[in-house]
Structure 1
């Protein structure tokens, strides 16, 4: 697939707000590896992964990484780039035909963080659940599924329809089909006629409280298992959980009060019990709204953060307040980056190069003119 290229002109002076990766020496095309939020490159429509085809009208084919970097630095006015967007495969939406409506009404209720909806007992017409039961994780919210199966032998088939009775030959009326009277079936619980016999269906369920016993009467489904209503209780206080919320912890179920008193973690900031989402950081537990950046006071959530004097900072505020920028590319020197200090500045190891030929000067003898590093070869030829 041919991807069209495009041209971008960034108005000087530097910094341009992007960083390169690749080059001939890496056997990789030159691409945009990083963008500064709100920088000139980001505002100009340049994206991560865009391939750089030319810099200032000079093709990048055959350029190594340092030559490309030096070419960008030499653009003191405007910087013209020819780029090609990275190839992004868009997901294809899959559509499925709508499922036929169920003969019985379907009830739903909004979920809440941290608690389970009360299970609902059933007793009536049987129906297989369309969605398989599942468990998310310990201490997470559950909404027990509902089922309505009673265990009785299936009713006998209805008797064959009666014959059609025809009027006498002296009558001119059309034939009349005489409907039978409902038959009555005797069951262990009640009397059921043809009209309501469908409410009794024979089935055997694996019940959590009494395995392989036939389940009779109202029951409920929670955590993918079936329970007698009176036996679905809190592990600690034994209160019935049939009509209240519950929390599952390591295979056991607890009412909200017992979970809060004995199992819920404590927030390191406000010292209150955590009943919803939990943040684990710095070997402590926190409410989502209590683990904040010390500078902007915004929740850090699951994002990268840095510590300074024991206080957490989001990545953006940390580098703006405490970070060190490379004198060569003006990007922050992050944890794990190789760097060196020279001429009173800090440099990435790949950015400390001769200003003329881009030869790396790390560990080499070099000269300096107006804070610009030069190799031996160009130390006396460059006029600055």
Structure 2
């Protein structure tokens, strides 16, 4: 950089952390600490930053307690196996998919999350009691049909922010779950492009199947 600095003056251009002892990375003419450099790079690539090692998550992401991580930072709480992005959270602990399935934990037919307490059985499925205000024993009084599924009106909500939705609201399908328009707009641009591409591919496949018939 062809300049001389007092050690205490040589700081990250974003967070102002002193760089003399930790090193720096040049980024678009700026000197940045590595965490800030990784965040800037991840933002440009539309990727997540691991909340444990603070490096960019290049491939699969494990979401644990609403934060993104590299899956291999964790091990199954039951068998000790290194986890993948298919891991499941139960009572604040992470389990590999085979161990989770062996536990026989019922899955709510609306939100697809494990049911840890009381269970309501209706329409051939199991449901959370606490989140379904419209349930009386054995009956569903109101439901909506969306994404090729029947939803309790109380459970039909954004899978990210839990805002209640109606069929009049704008929402998108992410992994067979509804996401409100506001949450979708806050997704990384690269992720939105991948989702749009996946939706186009699915429609092309469906059109191909119809043509073959």
TM over 0.5: no
TM-score normalized by the length of structure 1: 0.18
Larger radius of gyration: 1
Q: Which has the higher contact order (CA 8 A, sep 6+)?
A: 1
